[in-house]
Chains A and B, each alone.
Chain A
């Protein structure tokens, strides 16, 4: 059977990982290349590089870093952040990315999903959605969660997968950063309509939260987190061993 996936996300600004603590054996945890290798060696099933640079110069540094990482890390790499055009897809795919995640760029131009899926295939296009409860509904938020688009998240995801998105990342703004567990209710609503893999994001604080996620929602394919891995609060190897001991199918290496 196919395994559930554990995906660390690296936020990169001006070529450096934004937050993190020192790991034994990693000389520079703010180096995306070194941290990516560390995670890969410790059992990460996939990595997300999230570009939070605003400047064009920063974009160039980001793709250089991505190329360096792709020379030593041989697991799937997803890139997100600043993806607005097919040319942005091309830019990161040429540096070793396997998948590209779109968020605000697709909100501004919903045709981006279909255009990219036609050229690179559905499997290459990941729709990343930041959602938050507003008046009893899940609304899509843009610009890193700062702006309420008023769009219904469930409808947006349906439309995205019909346009060719091959995976969905659902980040709950309500649980993000709270470390009180994933947003099971919101994820459940998305799983009900999802025909493609769903990646849960936002709220993981400890190993138990991942167990709860996969036990409650068998249709969720992967769990994504950033700070708990960077700050060493959860070790990926331990996490996967614990999940496996709880009957969840994992790749143990």
Chain B
């Protein structure tokens, strides 16, 4: 069973539907015991980092996730959920992340000319793998396209970087460290390529 963490951020309909479509039992939950007994965990997220981080910490969910990560449970953060895995974010101030991935979250606008590269980056972009091919990508190929919607990116993640995409510079597309994974793009909105990434993730336990 895969637990999709519900902490009051964003809409989980498509995410839940995508797991049903690939035949995986996924439960949307905010219950610690359900999350800690799941085979793996999805951390979703849409919206602002500060608001989401505050919700994770004030609800106690951050501690539950840290416990699950320490137990070696596979965790996949998606979009803002990926950014929350980092140490901190500079989106409207400075906010604390979960610290599973080294580095911080910074605005794309610091790196590109916004008159050429519109912000947010919205649309389909190609993946470039970094380092040894991640098991998360075992069913897909380099160059496959996935769907991005974001104005901030994960910076300075060093060896945790497993894929980038070209948007005026090499933007972090996916990260992993041990049992923790994150994708800046939305696998649940990336057609067959995205579903194949989710299939790979549900094979982890």
Identify the A interface with B (CB < 8 A): 1-3, 5, 40, 45, 67, 70-72, 74-76, 93-96, 98, 120-123, 166-167, 195-197, 221-222, 251, 253
- Which residues of the other chain, B, contact A72 by a CB distance below 8 angstroms? 17, 21
CA distance A95 to B195 in the complex (A): 19
- Which residues of the other chain, A, contact B193 by a CB distance below 8 angstroms? 253
With A1-B125, A121-B46: A76-B13 Cβ-Cβ less than 8 Å = no
Within the complex, the shortest CB–CB distance from B196 to chain A, in Å, comes to 11
Is B120 within 8 A of A166, CB to CB? yes
* B205: Cβ under 8 A from any A Cβ: no
Is A123 within 8 A of B13, CB to CB? no
Select from chain A the residue with minimum beta-carbon distance to B188: A74
Is B20 within 8 A of A253, CB to CB? no
- Enumerate 10 A-B pairs (CB-CB under 8 Å) in ascending A order: A3-B124, A71-B21, A74-B17, A75-B189, A75-B190, A76-B189, A96-B11, A98-B14, A195-B114, A197-B123
* B8: Cβ under 8 A from any A Cβ: no
Given known contacts A75-B191, A94-B13, A253-B191, what 5 new A-B pairs fall within 8 Å (CB)? A2-B124, A71-B17, A93-B11, A196-B118, A253-B145
Is B122 within 8 A of A123, CB to CB? yes
Is B123 within 8 A of A5, CB to CB? yes
Q: How large is the interface on B (under 10, 10 to 19, 20 to 34, 35 or more residues)?
A: 20 to 34
- Which residues of the other chain, B, contact A120 by a CB distance below 8 angstroms? 46-47
- Which residues of the other chain, B, contact A166 by a CB distance below 8 angstroms? 120, 122
Identify the B interface with A (CB < 8 A): 11, 13-14, 17-18, 20-21, 46-48, 114, 118, 120-126, 145, 147-149, 166-167, 188-195
With A74-B189, A74-B195, A253-B145: A96-B13 Cβ-Cβ less than 8 Å = yes
Select from chain B the residue with minimum beta-carbon distance to A3: B124
Is B14 within 8 A of A3, CB to CB? no
Say which residue of A1, A95, A167, A196 sits within 8 Å of B166 (CB atoms).
A1
- Which residues of the other chain, A, contact B145 by a CB distance below 8 angstroms? 3, 251, 253
- Which residues of the other chain, A, contact B125 by a CB distance below 8 angstroms? 1-3
Within the complex, the shortest CB–CB distance from B172 to chain A, in Å, comes to 15
CA distance A219 to B92 in the complex (A): 28
- Which residues of the other chain, B, contact A3 by a CB distance below 8 angstroms? 123-125, 145
